[in-house]
Amino acid sequence: MRNSALHRKIVLRRPDDWHLHLRDGAVLAGVLPASRDFARAIVMPNLVPPVVTARDAAAYRDRILAALPEGQRFTPLMTLYLTEGTDPSDVEAAFRDRLIAAVKLYPAGATTNSASGVRDLDRAMPVLERMAAVGVPLLVHGEVSDPEVDIFDREAVFIERVLAPLRARLPELRVTLEHVTTADGVDYIRGAETNLAGTLTIQHLILNRNHMLAGGIRPHYYCLPIIKREHHRLALRRAAVSGDPRFFLGTDSAPHTVAAKESACGCAGVFSAPVALACLAHVFEEEGALDRLEGFASLHGPAWYGLAPNDERLTLVRRETAIDMPPAVDTGDGPVAVFDPGFPLHWQVITEDSR
Ligand code: NCD
Ligand code: ZN
């Protein structure tokens, strides 16, 4: 990464997004351009119905590629949604064919469209064993869905009850703990010797639960795992800027229409893709760590997934005057509001047209 002395301009390898929801149909077409800063993304399989088989993944990949606007260079890295009936041979073949990059574990009931997820991990052991043997990464939504467990404790309890025993049973399994939201998650990853990494979202680096709940409820900040206390946010920030290659960016950009968010029972998910890099540069600047931004956004992820970093470069410029917040994205299903970090954005991605 090249940095001007005053940090007015940063050139870094083009980033990737290691956790992204693109949806399908009209919403897919509407939100895909918002990921234009990213060369590749791990695409979540929680469609309705979910992406369960290699065939589903191939069809979904083709729909994504068909929806790409002219000129957007973007490679979707597909994932399969783990169910208790997933066929180990289908997973192995899809991975060997490079059709999928990973398999995603949603504990049943933990989040949006997770009803077909795993209830009893023992029933998924044959496929997990095969994944460990073949080297297929397991992406984990790390929350228990047990109604007895307080929503703010669900990540820590998941690590203790589910993840630690699973990793003890299958130490060869490569696991990405997705959207880590707690100091407990950060410490657990730091303490692991091998085969464990974690993604961090934009909103969890910026918000604590007061931002969401004090002085009025802000449904656009509601996502899962839920935004936590300040001390957790600070732990996530330290992890992001630490240079530790086990932490990297997964925006978890998750579009829902304004109508679905602003509701008596609003959907979980924050649509951050359009402002992800501007927000991230802001966070790294605040932390005095702009020299580590490229590692977090562009290098650690590919290394973990055994891929080369992107050759292309992307330029971020710090403007004196704040840039305009992008407007809501219109989709055939209705508008989707863009994440508002609550501070003015000064960093701007320079593309061919805005140069
Ligand atoms: C995601 C979604 O909307 O699909 N929502 C969210 O709050 N993050 C699902 C998920 O990743 O948990
Ligand atoms: Zn997600």
Q: pLDDT tens digit string along 147-185?
A: 999 999 999 999 999 999 999 999 999 999 999 999 999
Select from 144, 218, 224 the residue to mutate for testing ligand 1; criterion: most ligand atoms less than 8 Å from CB.
224
CATH of 2-349, one of 3.20.20.140, 3.10.20.740, 3.20.20.370, 3.10.20.30: 3.20.20.140
Q: Is the pLDDT of residue 355 over 60?
A: no
Nearest residue CA, atom 5 of ligand 1? 269
- What's the pLDDT tens digit per position in 67-98? 999 999 999 999 999 999 999 999 999 999 99
Q: Is the pLDDT of residue 354 over 70?
A: no
Give me the active site residues, please. 252
pLDDT at 345: 97
Question: Do residues 53 and 40 touch, judged by C-beta distance below 8 A?
Answer: no
* Atom number of ligand 1 nearest to Cα 111: 12
Report residue 209 as tokens: 């639960």
- What's the pLDDT tens digit per position in 136-148? 999 999 999 999 9
CB-based burial, 163-190: b 16+ in 10 Å, e otherwise: beebbeebeebbbbbbbbbbbbbbebbe
Report residue 304 as tokens: 């973990």
Instruction: Summarize the confidence of residues 309-337 as an average pLDDT.
Output: 96
Ligand 1 neighbour 197 (Cβ under 6 A) = no
Q: Is the pLDDT of residue 111 over 90?
A: no
- What's the pLDDT tens digit per position in 199-218? 999 999 999 999 999 999 99
pLDDT at 116: 87
Nearest to 34 by CA among 341, 202, 315, 274: 274
Q: How far is CA 301 from CA 46, 194, 273, 343, in A?
A: 21, 15, 17, 27
pTM (2 d.p.)? 0.96
Report residue 347 as tokens: 């960093």
Instruction: Summarize the confidence of residues 52-58 as an average pLDDT.
Output: 98
Instruction: Summarize the confidence of residues 95-112 as an average pLDDT.
Output: 94
Ligand 1 neighbour 155 (Cβ under 6 A) = no
What is the residue type of 78?
M
**Ligand 2 center to 280 CA (angstroms):** 18
Question: Would you list the domain boundaries of the chain?
Answer: 2-349
Strands (E), 31-166: 40-43, 75-81, 100-105, 138-140
Q: What is the mean pLDDT of the chain?
A: 96
Whole-number Å distance between alpha carbons of 100 and 147: 33
Give 249's pLDDT tier (boundaries 50, 70, 90). very high
Q: Percent of the chain beyond pLDDT 70? A: 97
* Atom number of ligand 1 nearest to Cα 113: 4
Ligand 1 neighbour 111 (Cβ under 6 A) = yes
Ligand 1 neighbour 254 (Cβ under 6 A) = yes
pLDDT at 112: 82
**Ligand 2 center to 106 CA (angstroms):** 10
pLDDT at 3: 56
